[in-house]
Structure 1
């Protein structure tokens, strides 16, 4: 085992001297096979499988050789066959057991020969896969060595990329490029999509202008009663109850909400009832007149 390892190490050293030789004549005739487009995953997968198989076969061979040497039979190879008749003498039993032992020994020798052949084949497969992978590594290291050699031959080991601007040399270092950038301040962007505009209906524009010019408090816009456009039917405009105009249109009926500013604008009336409704008889009279 030690001699085989020593010969393999000496062979590798000899190949390394030829791979890293400076002159092409020294590199010629190295016997290095150039393998291109190697699927290393396939190589590693087969190599792992072959190495596992080799280890298992080696220990099987070693175990069977020791069993045969000690004339012992493992439990898995013992033949359990017995005669059908009941009258058995000790001499017959001894001869029967010796015959079964000899048969088991012959089976063990047969299995041992088969495992030795498989072990030799597996070792050759492992050796071939190792050569493929080692050839790939050698080619990679050789190409890198030749690439670096060309850098020294062409005097391009250290590259300083410079250009003249206005008679001065300016380098392209990353710090100067980053420092010369101009950063713009982010401006607020519109929430609208490109090509979209906000449009108001005519009534909304008029109401917006009235609210911006009128001195009335903003609380006057708290009424839940929507305004009617001029295109709506007259019967809806003349109805007394604001909620009736939305019947049959899918709108929920809501009572209007009035504030002080509403009362001041409407002349003190509160949906047909005056302030006197809360104080005395005038309120009742007005209520009766309405209904």
Structure 2
């Protein structure tokens, strides 16, 4: 039986992993969030992981509030960079594999075409910079690791998709950015990739996003269409929207190493969205 320790178990990825492994007799999940394991406290990390001695550590803990990170820089650095470093040290001490979830924000979004693993980094926000530092510390420190980069993630909890559905209940129209491109990706689909990787020894950095491309406005229109919402989507530019932190205009990640190393192809974003909405009885069919 594999013992898997999850940090950030109350987040979208943590919840998706629990659903995925529910009833799996070959897996023993140990769920932790900040109340059970403060990943920014090295002594606590070493002690608790030493006691639990997991085979795999999946780090889903992160400071993901992109705009808030701009003013909350030290906390972002502690959670997104220092925490993964301590977890990597602890993983080495017990002989565990570490899986670290990262982000498209490590790139600047100016490339024409999709980003592949190994492309030049150039984060433009505090969030992106601290996520990159976390990646680099895992790569430098951990004996056995998977860094899994994803984007535009949605699952159970607070996310863009659920926010748009909430807004559609109270508003006749919503303003949504239409000049940023990426692939909405369900936490369920990323979980399948994590499981695939953890059954292998092909360690390294991987992209894991649903196939296809849209804008945030296009994503919103599809959500409303599938859910039978009449709310109008008003496309705006990034500049017009005016967020505090800079976002990549191009967030398109290509899952090149997943295909090369495993022959694995993730679901199309529209198919994954339909499944997510269908599972929650939100889709109109």
Bucket of the pairwise TM-score, normalised by the shorter protein: under 0.3
TM-score by length of 1: 0.14
Bigger share in strand: 2
TM-score by length of 2: 0.15
User: Rg bigger for which structure?
Assistant: 1
Bigger share in helix: 1
